Amino acid sequence: MNWWQKLKKNPLARFGAILLIIFYITVIFADFVAPYDPYYSQPNGSLLPPTRVYLNNREGQFIGPHIYPTTQGDTNLETGKREIIVNYSKPSALRLFVQGSEYQLFKFSLPLPPTWDEVTIFPGIPLNLHLFGAAGEARFNLLGTDDQARDEFSRLLYGGRISLFIGILGVAISFPLGMIVGGISGYFGGWTDSVIMRLVEVLMTFPSIYLLVTLGAVLPSGLSSSQRFILIVLITSFIGWAGLARVIRGQVLSIKEREFVQAARAMGGKPFYIILRHVLPQTASYIVISATLSIPSFIGAEAILSLIGLGIQQPDPSWGNMLSLATNASILVLQPWLIWPPAMVIILTVLAFNLLGDGLRDALDPRSLGR
């Protein structure tokens, strides 16, 4: 039985993979799936609870799924709660594939140094079609609105782009670095190994969270969220490669003594060619598993930095800065719908990666591949 068949037969790994596929597809198509612009503030619509969906009108007749225009009224001084005003005279039907705000689907741009000017890589496809929404004056706030009257569900989807892809980009930077450094250290040995391992040990002594906070605090205040995103990836990647290099070095020490490596060396293969062509591919199973299990740490690092105000800044959404509202006690008590969605998607994402990583570890175990 090969590793793919073993992975498919693992229900927990399959659940994690399906959940991740759903999350990534949703955030990639966030412009289409989100009903509203994540930066748009609704008039008199701050801190609205999730919109209630009705099937019958006020006379008890079934007219299908619909909602009513909802706004915030005055605050009750005794309870601290704000009055919710619902206009029952203007029902708005819920529809699939409704027209709304315009967007550029698949638009991709990056700030490039040294000027950090935004450069459009792909202009995108102009559209105004959204997966669902209300056909009328009412606005369908699936998860309510935040303190700036912005749709929480739309911001959750757009924020997922940063929170989900920061892990993939972080692994794409840190893992090749860790593999190459660890491979060189283990293959050459001697003083090269000693120097590299001392550097690795110095990096591993720094507490990662405190180092992230320190480095995040010294970022220039005028950076855009795109620039902060790139710098956070670089910072987290700089922290994450040392542990991997140490493990790869240990594996290379044993692999370099095997017959096929000795044969390549005897045939005149250059050291770097042997490392890249013969040695490092033997560590592929560990790399795949470790990368899958490391992505949640990058997501957590971004969430922590954004939560304490050193990561992605408002009004740009990320799951971390959406959680920053949790520092307000009144929000936790009176508007819990603002806290639970970003907290739950972070928990589910980390759980899904861990389940998939555990499944890959079992499937790629060389002792079980032949069973």
Q: Which residue has the tokens 């994690």?
A: 16
Decide the pairing of beta strands 108-112 and 70-75.
Answer: unpaired
- Let me know: does 244 contact 209? Beta carbons within 8 Å: no
Q: Which residue has the tokens 């559209």?
A: 127
State the CB neighbour count (10 A cutoff) for residue 240: 22
Q: What is the pLDDT of residues 66-123, one digit of tens each?
A: 999 998 877 666 666 678 888 888 889 999 999 988 998 888 776 666 666 667 777 7
Nearest to 302 by CA among 218, 215, 370: 215
Q: Which residue has the tokens 């001697």?
A: 190
Give the pLDDT confidence score for residue 329 in this predicted structure.
Answer: 61
Tokens matching residue 174: 């840190």
pLDDT-derived band of residue 4, with 50, 70 and 90 as boundaries? confident
Give the pLDDT confidence score for residue 283 in this predicted structure.
Answer: 81
Q: Which of 58-62, 124-128, 205-209, 319-323 has the lowest mean pLDDT?
A: 205-209
Q: What is the pLDDT of residues 203-251, one digit of tens each?
A: 887 776 677 677 666 766 677 777 777 777 777 787 778 888 888 888 8
Decide the pairing of beta strands 62-67 and 54-56.
Answer: antiparallel
123 or 65: whose pLDDT is higher?
Answer: 65
Q: Which residue has the tokens 């470790």?
A: 290
pLDDT at position 339 over 80:
yes
Q: What is the pLDDT of residues 21-60, one digit of tens each?
A: 999 999 999 999 999 999 999 888 888 889 999 998 888 8
pLDDT-derived band of residue 369, with 50, 70 and 90 as boundaries? very low
Q: Give percent of the chain above pLDDT 70.
A: 88
